[in-house]
Amino acid sequence: MATFGKGPILVTGASGGIGAATVRQLVAAGATVIANGRNAEALDALAAETGCATLPFDLTSEDSIREALDGRDLWGVVNCGGFGGEIATPMETDIDVFDKVISVNARGALLVTKYASKSMIRLGQGGAIVNVSSQASLVALKGHISYGSSKAALDNITRVSALELGPHNIRVNSVNPTVVMTEMSAFYWGRPEIGEPFLAQMPLGRWASEDEIAAPIVFLLSDGASMITGVSLPIDGGFTAC
């Protein structure tokens, strides 16, 4: 069974599939979890199911994040909150959409790291942060100029944060999943002309499940990963290895 440091683990994006699966697995492993997300009804249902606490704040607002996290004791963070944006080429992209994707996926995660790490340093017990990135940061995917750029920025936030927080025994890693075939993903990846060629290039040849992404997140938070930091871990069925 996984073991964790003392103190709560904050999971943003917990009203979504990967975030909710991560909360469930962390609670099942004995962690104390605080869930954040945009969908209040889904968060309430998750809290009723798992016993996790909930904490509302806006990932696009530094004031909101500061007010929520300032002085709050935390041991771990999963930055899972994200925004998919649009499918567009660099020539067609709506720069306002690009700005929003960056604001949520990169800037929001950095702000959570900024205030959560202050708590971890203050407590002096170390900690762990896992950023949910994407395979789109590791390889070029058509139509993913905004999303891929935001996740590439997140991977660099991971590496620099690992460097800066390591002396405080705070580990920072990313996971880089392939497509989880949610309702949101299906509008694009569910098209045969898009999904079938993609899966044909993947050694495992199938979409990931939420639980298959959550399990490595839980591992990276656990004491079993105590010597792992600064890593971007593909969870992609081998797609980026080919």
Residue range 82-125, pLDDT digits in tens: 999 999 999 999 999 999 999 999 999 999 999 999 999 999 99
The pLDDT of residue 183: 72
The answer to whether residue 118 is catalytic is: no
Q: Pick from 141, 174, 130: which is nearest to 4 by CA?
A: 130
Task: State the catalytic residue, choosing from 100, 118, 147, 188.
Answer: 147
Q: Exposed, middle or buried, 87 (CB in 10 Å: 0-12/13-18/19+)? A: middle
The CA distance from 18 to 213, in Å, is: 7
Mean pLDDT within 12-38: 96
Task: State the catalytic residue, choosing from 6, 114, 151, 188.
Answer: 151
The pLDDT of residue 6: 85
What digits encode the pLDDT tens for the residues 168-226?
A: 999 999 999 999 987 778 889 999 999 999 999 999 999 999 999 999 999 999 999 99
At 131 the three-state DSSP class reads: strand
Host H or E run for residue 199: helix 192-201
Q: Tokens 């996740």, residue? A: 151
The pLDDT of residue 171: 98
Backbone angles phi and psi of 127, in degrees to 5: 160, 180
Cα–Cα separations (whole angstroms), residue 41 to 16, 25, 37: 12, 20, 10
The pLDDT of residue 185: 86
The pLDDT of residue 1: 66
If pLDDT is split at 50, 70 and 90, which confidence band does 37 have? very high
Host H or E run for residue 210: helix 210-221
- What burial letters (b/e) apply to 7-38, b meaning 16+ CB within 10 Å? bbbbbbbbbbbbbbbbbbbbbebebbbbbbbb
The pLDDT of residue 236: 97
Specify whether domain 9-232 bears CATH 3.40.50.720: yes
The answer to whether residue 188 is catalytic is: no
Can you list the positions of beta strands (E) in 55-115? 76-79
CB neighbour list of residue 6: distance below 8 Å, 6 or more residues apart? 75, 125
Q: Which amino acid is at 5?
A: G
The domain limits of the chain are 9-232
pLDDT(242) > 90: no
What digits encode the pLDDT tens for the residues 44-75?
A: 999 999 999 999 999 999 999 999 999 999 99
Mean pLDDT within 130-146: 97
